[in-house]
Amino acid sequence: MGTGELDPWGTSSVKDYTRLRTEFGIDPVAPLLSRFKKLSPHLSRGIDFGQRDLGRVLDAIEKNNPFAVMSGIKPTGDFHLGTKMTADDMIYFQSLSKKTTVYYAIADIEAYADNGLSFEETSKIATRNVADILALGLDPDRTVVYFQSEEVKVMRLGTVFSRGVTNNMLRAIYGERQIGLYMSALYQAGDILMPQLPELGGPKPVLVPVGADQDPHIRLARDLAGRYKDEYGFIPPSSIYHRLMLSLGGSDKMSKRSSSTLLTLEDQPKDATKKIMSAFTGGRDTVEEQKRIGGRPEVCPVYDLYRFHFARNDEHVKQVFYECSKGVRLCGECKQEAAGLVKSWLDDHHKRRDSLMGDARELLAKSRDFLSSAGK
Amino acid sequence: MGTGELDPWGTSSVKDYTRLRTEFGIDPVAPLLSRFKKLSPHLSRGIDFGQRDLGRVLDAIEKNNPFAVMSGIKPTGDFHLGTKMTADDMIYFQSLSKKTTVYYAIADIEAYADNGLSFEETSKIATRNVADILALGLDPDRTVVYFQSEEVKVMRLGTVFSRGVTNNMLRAIYGERQIGLYMSALYQAGDILMPQLPELGGPKPVLVPVGADQDPHIRLARDLAGRYKDEYGFIPPSSIYHRLMLSLGGSDKMSKRSSSTLLTLEDQPKDATKKIMSAFTGGRDTVEEQKRIGGRPEVCPVYDLYRFHFARNDEHVKQVFYECSKGVRLCGECKQEAAGLVKSWLDDHHKRRDSLMGDARELLAKSRDFLSSAGK
């Protein structure tokens, strides 16, 4: 790489990711990369770093066997860049085989319970969210979208699981938490395992793309798959983990809690520009110092914008990384460039999304018919 | 009464009922009896012994204000005599005012989770259960019946409540239990409070008739009504408690766990006769002894059949009690008489129920339409 220990695909918390592997048994993605015919930006840039049983999904792809990809969203109005990362993975894996079905859960009951949003509001937001994922490239012909509040199959599984888990098992995975969190975890396990129900074609590999912080849900679903194997024939679900972006404030992950440091797909381009121009960076105290010793892209949320979403290609990411590290790229111009990329991406995305609202409604109606008649 | 301390309306566990009053704050029914225009057998025979806030329901009756009665069943095929007692109370209170609406919940998700019954099976059983309550005298014009698996309003409330309760609160009420029991308790609280949602006419008194062992659910629902008062305007639900019947084995309450000592509305008359003829009684070791010192109706499940369900009237119950106590009624003839009453009751009930299956289906369809359009 020519720069010693510098690694454009690394992050400051790479130690934590190593811990995930040793402590939780999440395996690295790297050894499996040669089995992919084409790499997504998440794979080629080391953003997807870990997996459980991804090999089982690759087997299905290679043998042209059916498998499912499962993901979802809480429709509270913020389709943010973290949500986009999960959606990008989902869409990428759907594209790898004609035998994939995507299951996409809209957590409207949680939106009601946690955010006080009415079902009318969430239904409106959810339709736009579905248009968002269509605009990102989802193939509606192999997708089933459903509202939690309508899908009794998930409720049923969650209830069955609640009779089969021990409180100690939930405490071991989540710590001592309110019953509401436990319940919602059990319903999520229902979401993850539903695609394997007999009325939906029976046991099959299911891939769940998630942020690294969501692994407890995967562990629970895999544990339950084992406990209910005799009854349902469940295959333990597979997972792939992406790194978490830095918030524009520079700390933690990008989250819904702080809107000034969070980019969402709802942002107007000019608001996005404002947020980016006032973002924390990995720059030095003075221009002089930065020119002399270089910036620190590995702690820079603006660099993350390039790497995770908006760079033209892998070469472009590398270019930003090395120019910054060597002090030839300064923060002002770098932010300008990023803001320009984000603006044109958002303009483009909004246009596409708005033109897909009808398709989103159609997909929701088609999915509802499919699920209510499944197995009848 | 002429027999000293003997009381035909007492039971061997009257001490426990007194404890319920002092420890849990369940108030006696007796001081309110003068406010009823007519007494049900449950009231005149001291079977309904306790209440919380029943006065609020009596106020509504006297002022001709709307109120609701809420009850339900787990459709596992056993509409037994304990279930009938709750139904009898429900139907009686419905009859006291033209402004009552009965809400009847069919716990099909629990039947699936706990008993492995498919939704097709439970749906069939549930239709028969609804015909059962119609045959017992329910007025379908002021009744809403719903399946747990279809009623998102309940699911929504259960989820909201799960975010608002603390684990300590649930432990204080139920002890340390599996999450499945806690969840089902929260959904039951949803059942109890649903009739007060704005789309169902808003806050109103709601009476829940239950067995004395079900008070924890009432305490939880009342506690939640208080916690969510600001948001929903909930009025704490009222309750009325009936004594528990002895099983035909003589111990515990009649329960679904032991079919040979349990009478159900599904029993063929000849099977019911067999169960009664081999029941435990309050008789003495020998006929001679029984004639000399009398039997013990207060521990006799056959006496309970007369008192709780099948006696022709209150006088008949008293007659059985005193004849037994004085040794002039022996167990064989007493069982014969009871079996005859049960047989003719069951014959009659089965005929009426079978003729009401169409009405039951109609009530289910009408209720579904009502709930799915409520508030829209």
Q: What is the Cα–Cα distance from A167 to B178, expressed in whole angstroms?
A: 6
Q: What is the Cα–Cα distance from A152 to B113, expressed in whole angstroms?
A: 13
Q: Is B220 touching A (CB cutoff 8 A)?
A: no
Model confidence at B155: pLDDT above 80 = yes
The per-residue pLDDT of chain A, averaged, comes to 90
Measured in whole angstroms, how far is the alpha carbon of residue A245 from the centre of its chain?
Answer: 11
What does the pLDDT read at residue A329? 97
Give the CA distances from residue B359 to residues A35, B88, B140, in Å, rounded to whole numbers and listed in that order.
62, 19, 8
Pair of tokens at residue B128: 């028969």
What does the pLDDT read at residue A116? 79
| A159–B109 C-beta distance less than 8 A | yes
- The DSSP H or E segment spanning B52 is strand B48-52
Q: Comparing B82 with B237, which gets the higher pLDDT?
A: B237
What does the pLDDT read at residue B9? 58
Burial of residue A135, with CB atoms counted within 10 A of its CB: 0-12 exposed, 13-18 middle, 19 or more buried? buried
Asked whether the whole model's pTM tops 0.95, one would answer no
Looking up tokens 């005149």, which residue turns up?
Answer: B44
List, edge to edge, every strand of the sheet that includes B67-73: B27-28, B48-52, B238-242, B206-211, B67-73, B100-106, B143-147
Query: Residue A141: which of A376, A329, A359, A374 has the closest Cα?
Result: A359
Q: Evaluate whether A155 touches B110 at the Cβ level (below 8 Å).
A: no
- The DSSP H or E segment spanning B50 is strand B48-52
Q: Which residue ranges form the domains of chain A, and what is each CATH number?
A: 14-247 (3.40.50.620)
Burial of residue B88, with CB atoms counted within 10 A of its CB: 0-12 exposed, 13-18 middle, 19 or more buried? buried
User: Any bridge partners for residue B213, and if so which?
Assistant: none
Q: Evaluate whether B295 touches B309 at the Cβ level (below 8 Å).
A: no
Looking up tokens 């009739």, which residue turns up?
Answer: B195
Query: Residue A256: which of A82, A108, A129 has the closest Cα?
Result: A82
Q: In A, residues 36-75, which contact B (CB 8 Å cutoff)?
A: none
Query: Residue A106: which of A134, A78, A138, A148 has the closest Cα?
Result: A148
Neighboring chain B residues of A178 at a CB cutoff of 8 Å? 162-163, 165-167
What does the pLDDT read at residue B11? 47
Q: What is the Cα–Cα distance from B321 to B139, expressed in whole angstroms?
A: 33
Query: Residue A227: which of A157, A155, A174 has the closest Cα?
Result: A157
Report the sign of the C-alpha dihedral through residues B257, B262, B267, B271, in that order: positive
Neighboring chain B residues of A163 at a CB cutoff of 8 Å? 113-114, 178, 180
What does the pLDDT read at residue A376? 64
List for chain B the helix, strand, coil content (%; round to 5).
60, 10, 30
Q: What is the Cα–Cα distance from A278 to A234, expressed in whole angstroms?
A: 49
Give the CA distances from residue B25 to residues A44, B70, B109, B239, B280, in Å, rounded to whole numbers and listed in that order.
67, 21, 32, 12, 34
What does the pLDDT read at residue B257? 56
Q: What percent of chain B has pLDDT over 70?
A: 92
| B113–A159 C-beta distance less than 8 A | yes
CA angle B225, B230, B236 (to 5 degrees): 25
Neighboring chain B residues of A186 at a CB cutoff of 8 Å? 179, 183
| A180–B110 C-beta distance less than 8 A | no
What does the pLDDT read at residue B117? 81
- The DSSP H or E segment spanning B226 is helix B215-227
What does the pLDDT read at residue A7? 55
Q: Evaluate whether A69 touches A102 at the Cβ level (below 8 Å).
A: yes
What does the pLDDT read at residue A5? 44
Q: What is the Cα–Cα distance from A239 to A26, expressed in whole angstroms?
A: 9
CA distance B151 to chain A (A): 9
Q: What is the Cα–Cα distance from A373 to B360, expressed in whole angstroms?
A: 24
With cut-offs at 50, 70 and 90, classify the pLDDT of residue B341: very high
Give the CA distances from residue A30 to residues A197, A239, A329, in Å, rounded to whole numbers and listed in that order.
32, 14, 30
**Mean pLDDT across B186-203:** 96
Q: Evaluate whether B85 touches B133 at the Cβ level (below 8 Å).
A: no
Cβ neighbour number for residue A288 with a 10 Å cutoff: 10
Q: What is the Cα–Cα distance from A254 to A80, expressed in whole angstroms?
A: 8
For A153, the closest chain B residue by CA position comes to: B149
Neighboring chain B residues of A150 at a CB cutoff of 8 Å? 152
With cut-offs at 50, 70 and 90, classify the pLDDT of residue B248: confident
Which of A112, A155, A176 is opposite residue B109, by nearest beta carbon?
A155
Contacts of residue B30, Cβ cutoff 8 Å, sequence gap at least 6: none
Contacts of residue A291, Cβ cutoff 8 Å, sequence gap at least 6: A327, A328, A330
R_g (Cα) of chain A, nearest Å = 21
Neighboring chain B residues of A109 at a CB cutoff of 8 Å? 152, 155-156, 159
User: Any bridge partners for residue B253, and if so which?
Assistant: B246
Most confident of the following: A277-291, B4-18, B115-129, B159-173: A277-291
What does the pLDDT read at residue B290? 95
Question: Helix (H, G, I), strand (E, B), or coil: what is residue B13?
Answer: coil
Q: Evaluate whether B154 touches B191 at the Cβ level (below 8 Å).
A: yes
Query: Residue A97: which of A61, A56, A139, A140 has the closest Cα?
Result: A61
Q: Is A109 touching B (CB cutoff 8 A)?
A: yes
R_g (Cα) of chain B, nearest Å = 21
| B112–A160 C-beta distance less than 8 A | yes
Question: Helix (H, G, I), strand (E, B), or coil: what is residue B262?
Answer: coil
Q: What is the Cα–Cα distance from B101 to B71, expressed in whole angstroms?
A: 11
At B84, give phi and psi (nearest 5°). -60, -35
Query: Residue A53: which of A81, A25, A73 has the closest Cα?
Result: A25
CA distance A38 to chain B (A): 43
Burial of residue B123, with CB atoms counted within 10 A of its CB: 0-12 exposed, 13-18 middle, 19 or more buried? middle
DSSP string spanning A167-226? HHHHHHHH-S--HHHHHHHHHHHHHHHGGGSGGGTSS--EEEEEEGGGHHHHHHHHHHHH
pLDDT in tens, chain A (376 residues): 333 345 555 543 555 667 777 777 889 999 999 999 999 999 999 999 899 999 999 999 999 999 999 999 988 877 889 899 999 999 999 999 999 999 999 988 888 878 878 878 888 899 999 999 999 999 999 999 999 888 888 988 998 999 889 888 999 988 888 888 898 899 999 999 999 999 999 999 999 999 888 888 999 999 999 999 999 999 999 999 998 888 888 765 555 556 677 889 989 999 999 999 999 999 999 999 999 999 999 999 999 999 999 999 999 999 999 999 999 999 999 999 999 999 999 999 999 999 999 999 999 999 999 998 886 6
Q: Evaluate whether A213 touches A184 at the Cβ level (below 8 Å).
A: no
Which of B114, B155, B167 is opposite residue A178, by nearest beta carbon?
B167
pLDDT tens string B252-303? 555 555 667 788 998 999 999 999 999 999 999 999 999 999 999 999 999 9
Q: Which contacts qualify for A287-295: CB closer than 8 Å, 24 or more apart? A: A287/A330, A290/A327, A290/A330, A290/A331, A291/A327, A291/A328, A291/A330, A292/A327, A293/A327, A294/A324, A294/A325, A294/A326, A294/A327, A295/A324, A295/A325, A295/A327, A295/A329, A295/A330, A295/A331
DSSP string spanning A39-69? --HHHHTT-EEEEESHHHHHHHHHHT--EEE
pLDDT tens string B88-116? 999 999 999 999 999 999 988 888 878 87
